């Protein structure tokens, strides 16, 4: 009975969003996107789209999303939004990070990406324009993928902090006490595989079109680069997402090597009390600000 009620609620919500969408003006980018998508389908094989297309989406999205944080370090005005102002980025650290990223991207992640075509074939996932889900379905699916990945990340990330294994794997990611956006995927190859596995679980559950895989790649990169950016910029649209953790939440984890284990949301840390030190830290900072103002 409870399952039927839940299904009815979801169906009602879907119909309501569909009804509202019918009144929205046409998206001026839809036709160009449709033309580009159909051109891709007409000129490339599914293997090329799934493999090299996915690699291009990942690489272009990753480094484009890193650009704002990279530029911030050269703008004095933006330094007031830097969380750890006493630890500026250095060229040496950024170059070291970039070299490790290139290794991980092409020797760890690319072999996994090469399996994308076989994944879509096995599950009979379509590529065509006509089968592409509506934007609000994609948004809901990406949110579902984020919830699943967040749960996986919390428990596996917390495990990687266990004193018996921390120094062998996860310590590499913590080389940078003050994180910056490009460092989001700076990690031991084993960590890339262990924590990265959470990305694929949501895809297995929700994927009904190739476009979801690319949309979820972009959403996940947007989130992880934001929380590693080192800057708490006001009017960040990601803070409109319910229970979103944000840069301060994860920056505290890099400062103290403990607590705040979740990747995207705050609920697992609240449930298990692993955000208690962060909450205490925030209260101290508020008191300091009040004293300074007086």
Encode pLDDT of 48-77 as tens digits. Answer: 999 999 999 999 999 999 999 999 999 999
Instruction: For residue 287, give both structure tokens.
Output: 């008191």
Residue 119 lies in a domain: yes
Q: How many domains does the chain have?
A: 1
Residue 120 lies in a domain: yes
Residue 284 lies in a domain: no
Residue 208 lies in a domain: yes
- Residue ranges of alpha helices (H) inside 1-134 are 2-21, 30-43, 46-48, 54-72, 91-104, 110-113, 116-122
* pLDDT confidence tier of residue 7, bands split at 50, 70 and 90: very low
Can you give the residue range of the structural domain that contains 222? 49-73+91-230
Judged on CB neighbours under 10 Å (0-12, 13-18, 19+), 11 is exposed
Pairwise CA distance, residues 72 & 286, whole Å: 25
Residue 7 lies in a domain: no
Residue 1 lies in a domain: no
Residue 176 lies in a domain: yes
pLDDT at 294: 56
Residue 165 lies in a domain: yes
> Per-residue pLDDT averaged across 120-125, rounded?
94
**Higher per-residue confidence, 2 vs 234:** 234
pLDDT at 27: 75
């Amino acid at each position: 009975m409870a399952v039927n009620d839940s299904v009815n609620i979801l169906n009602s919500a879907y119909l309501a969003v569909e009804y509202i969408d019918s009144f929205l003006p046409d998206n001026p980018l839809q036709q160009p996107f449709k033309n580009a998508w159909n051109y891709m389908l007409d000129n490339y094989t599914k293997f090329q789209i799934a493999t090299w297309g996915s690699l291009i989406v990942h690489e272009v999205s990753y480094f484009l999303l890193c650009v704002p944080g990279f530029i911030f370090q050269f703008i004095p005005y933006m330094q007031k939004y830097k969380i750890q102002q006493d630890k500026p980025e250095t060229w040496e650290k950024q170059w070291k990070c970039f070299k490790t990223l290139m290794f991980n991207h092409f020797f760890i992640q690319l072999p996994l990406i090469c399996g994308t075509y076989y994944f879509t074939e096995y599950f009979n996932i379509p590529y065509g324009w006509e089968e592409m889900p509506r934007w609000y379905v994609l948004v809901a699916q990406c949110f579902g993928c984020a919830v699943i990945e967040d749960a996986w990340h919390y428990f596996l990330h917390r495990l990687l902090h266990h004193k018996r294994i921390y120094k062998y794997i996860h310590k590499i990611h913590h080389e940078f006490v003050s994180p910056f956006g490009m460092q989001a995927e700076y990690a031991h190859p084993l960590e890339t595989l262990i924590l990265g596995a959470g990305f694929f679980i949501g895809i297995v559950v929700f994927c009904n079109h190739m476009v979801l895989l690319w949309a979820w790649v972009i959403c996940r990169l947007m989130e992880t680069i934001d929380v590693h950016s080192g800057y708490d910029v006001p009017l960040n649209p990601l803070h409109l997402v319910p229970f979103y953790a944000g840069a301060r939440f994860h920056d505290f984890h890099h400062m103290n090597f403990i607590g705040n284990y979740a990747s995207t949301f705050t609920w697992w840390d609240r449930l298990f009390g692993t955000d208690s030190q962060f909450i205490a830290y925030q209260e101290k900072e508020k008191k300091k600000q009040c004293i300074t103002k007086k």
